[in-house]
A and B are shown apart, each in its own frame.
Chain A
């Protein structure tokens, strides 16, 4: 049976991982190359690289670092941030990305999902949706969660999946950073609405949050988090051992 995936997300700015990291045995704690290798050898099922640079130089540096990382990481690698055109897909795929996630780029130009899926296959296109409750309605936010697009989230996600998005990352702005658990209500709505894999993001604070997620919502395929992994609050191998004890299918290293 397909296992539930645990995915650390690395926010990269000017060639460095932001949100401090502190691991024993890691020479350069902010080096995306070293951190990615560490994760891939310590239980991560997939990695997400998120480019949060705004400048052209930053983007070039990001692409170089992606290339360097992909040479020594042999698990699936998803890249997001600054993906606005099919040329951006091409740029990161040539540097070793396996999947590309789109967010604001798809909001500005919804045809991007369809065009990219046609060229690279549905499995390559990951929709990243920042969602927040506004007056009791789930709304899609753009620009890293700063701007309310006014679009209803479930409709938006369904539309993108129909256009070819092969996976959906659901990032709840309401629970992000709170560390009190994933947004189960939002995740249930999305996983009932689409048949492609759903990745939960935003809110994980401890091991128990992942166990609650997968036990409550067996339809959710993966859990994504950043700081709790980077700070070593949750070690991926320990988390997966706990998941296995709770009868959640996971890939355990031998």
Chain B
């Protein structure tokens, strides 16, 4: 069973539907006991980093996610959920993340050419850096996924498994042991996205 962590951030309809479509058993929950008993954890998220980090902490779930990750349970952060996995974010100030992956989240503004629009929104191709990453078992280099974000992960070279070209290489996916992250939305990325979720469901803890 997959625990999709519900901490009041974002719309989980598509994520629930896409997990159902690939036949995965998933439960949207904030119950620590259920999260502990799950085989895998998905940390979703849309919105502002500070607000999301606070909600996760105040629900007592930040510590739980960290301890479950340290036990070796596979964890997938999606979009803002991926950004939360890092040490810190510079979205409106400086805020502490879960610190499960080394690196920081910074604004795209100033990092990409001025002619490009922010947010980075739409379909972009994945440039796969680490073909051996378990998430990419069923997809190919150049497959398209759907992005919506204005901040991106930096100083995380070792963990980057795929990038997307948006004037600069933008961190698209990361992995560090059993902890995975996607900046894009696999639940909105057609067959490619479903294949990434399918692969996550098969990762070993």
Return the contact of A96 from the options B13, B21, B47 (Cβ within 8 A).
B13
Q: Are A195 and B21 in contact (CB under 8 A)?
A: no
Interface secondary structure of A, over-half rule: loop
User: For the complex, what is the distance from the CA of A189 to the CA of B188, rounded to whole Å?
Assistant: 31
Q: Mark B1-35, 1 if CB is under 8 A from A, else 0.
A: 00000000001011001101100000000000000
Within 8 A of B (CB), among A41-100: 45, 70-72, 74-76, 93-96, 98
Q: Are B122 and A5 in contact (CB under 8 A)?
A: yes
Q: Are A123 and B119 in contact (CB under 8 A)?
A: yes
Q: Are A95 and B123 in contact (CB under 8 A)?
A: no
Most buried by B among A3, A5, A72, A75: A75
B43 within 8 A of A: no
Please tell me the size bucket of the interface on A: 20 to 34
Q: Are B14 and A197 in contact (CB under 8 A)?
A: no
Most buried by A among B118, B148, B166: B148
Interface secondary structure of B, over-half rule: mixed
Q: Are A74 and B188 in contact (CB under 8 A)?
A: yes
B181 within 8 A of A: no
Q: Which residues of B contact A221 (CB under 8 A)?
A: 117, 122
Q: Are A2 and B166 in contact (CB under 8 A)?
A: yes
Return the contact of B47 from the options A76, A121, A167, A254 (Cβ within 8 A).
A121
User: For the complex, what is the distance from the CA of A167 to the CA of B148, rounded to whole Å?
Assistant: 12
Q: Are B189 and A74 in contact (CB under 8 A)?
A: yes
User: For the complex, what is the distance from the CA of A219 to the CA of B134, rounded to whole Å?
Assistant: 37
Q: Are A71 and B20 in contact (CB under 8 A)?
A: yes
User: For the complex, what is the distance from the CA of A223 to the CA of B18, rounded to whole Å?
Assistant: 26
- Smallest CB–CB gap between A187 and chain B, Å? 15
Q: Which residues of A contact B188 (CB under 8 A)?
A: 74-76, 98
A171 within 8 A of B: no
Within 8 A of B (CB), among A156-184: 166-167
- With A45-B123, A123-B121, A221-B122 already in contact, 6 other A-B pairs whose C-beta atoms are closer than 8 Å: A1-B165, A70-B14, A70-B17, A74-B14, A96-B13, A96-B14
Interface residues of A (CB under 8 A from B): 1-3, 5, 40, 45, 70-72, 74-76, 93-96, 98, 121-123, 166-167, 195-197, 221, 251, 254
